[in-house]
């Protein structure tokens, strides 16, 4: 009887150990993106049908699930001070498939896009008909530089977005303000 209880206890512990291993793998895979944690602000240029528009872009980035995810909220403000753009993204890693994800919601659209992580940033892309839109973000010396390009086979890349953000500081977002136990 005692042996049966011990075997049952060990079997119950296996999924918990496996879950911890998976979560540890997620944390390790997303650790390079900790360089983005904090609040950021700066100019961004967006190519619209009528030409280039300059906005003030803000970003806030922080870990969730004790670092197993990274979340990003971006807001773009026009010269009138009104918010003209708002996006939210969840960056994650699937240790079973060994694949990164960029899950984004913006302007009434949503998607799950392939994400590439590098020591100084990340890249993600969207398929848009015959074109692919690719964004590459890097951090160097407290500056977040991101470029978006429209890529069509047989044509030179067309820059459609660029931002230069300065790190303003740390933030407890999104973990701050969680509902307490009691």
Token code pair at residue 99: 């694949």
b vs e for 84-101, b when ≥16 Cβ sit within 10 Å of the residue's Cβ? eeeeebebbbeeeeeebb
Name the maximum alpha-carbon separation found in the chain: 78
Any idea what the Cα angle at residue 72 is, between residues 118 and 135, rounded to 5°? 50
Cβ-defined contacts of 102-110 (< 8 Å, 24+)? 106/74
**Mean pLDDT, the chain, integer:** 91
Q: Could you give the C-alpha distances from 149 to 57, 138, 170, in angstroms and in order?
A: 18, 15, 29
Give me the average pLDDT of each 10-residue run along the chain (182 residues). 50 55 94 97 95 97 95 97 96 96 95 96 95 97 97 96 97 88 88
* Predicted local confidence at residue 4, as pLDDT: 55
Helices and strands of the chain, counted as H and E runs: 1, 10
Domain layout of the chain by residue ranges = 2-169
pLDDT in tens, 103-155: 999 999 999 999 999 999 999 999 999 999 999 999 999 999 999 999 999 99
The terminus-to-terminus CA distance of the chain in angstroms comes to 40
**What is the reported pTM?**
0.86
Token code pair at residue 128: 């848009």
**DSSP assignment letter at 36:** G
Give the helix/strand (H/E) hosting 23. helix 2-30
* Predicted local confidence at residue 177, as pLDDT: 83
Fold classification of 2-169 (topology level): Lipocalin (2.40.128)
């Amino acid at each position: 009887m005692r042996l049966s209880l011990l075997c049952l206890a060990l079997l119950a512990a296996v999924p918990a150990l496996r879950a911890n291993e998976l979560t540890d793998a997620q944390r390790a895979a997303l650790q390079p993106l900790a360089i983005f944690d904090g609040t950021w602000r700066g100019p961004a240029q967006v190519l619209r049908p009528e030409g280039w528009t300059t906005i003030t872009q803000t970003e806030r980035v922080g870990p969730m699930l004790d670092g197993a995810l990274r979340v990003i909220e971006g807001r773009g403000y026009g010269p009138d001070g009104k918010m003209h753009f708002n996006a939210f993204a969840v960056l994650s890693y699937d240790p079973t498939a060994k694949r990164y994800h960029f899950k984004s919601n913006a302007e009434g659209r949503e998607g799950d896009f392939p994400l590439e992580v590098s020591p100084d940033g990340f890249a993600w892309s969207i398929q848009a008909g015959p074109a692919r839109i690719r964004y590459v973000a890097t951090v160097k010396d407290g500056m977040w530089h991101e470029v978006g390009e429209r890529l069509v086979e047989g044509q030179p890349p067309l820059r459609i977005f660029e931002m230069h953000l300065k790190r303003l500081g740390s933030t407890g977002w999104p973990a701050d303000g969680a509902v307490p136990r009691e």
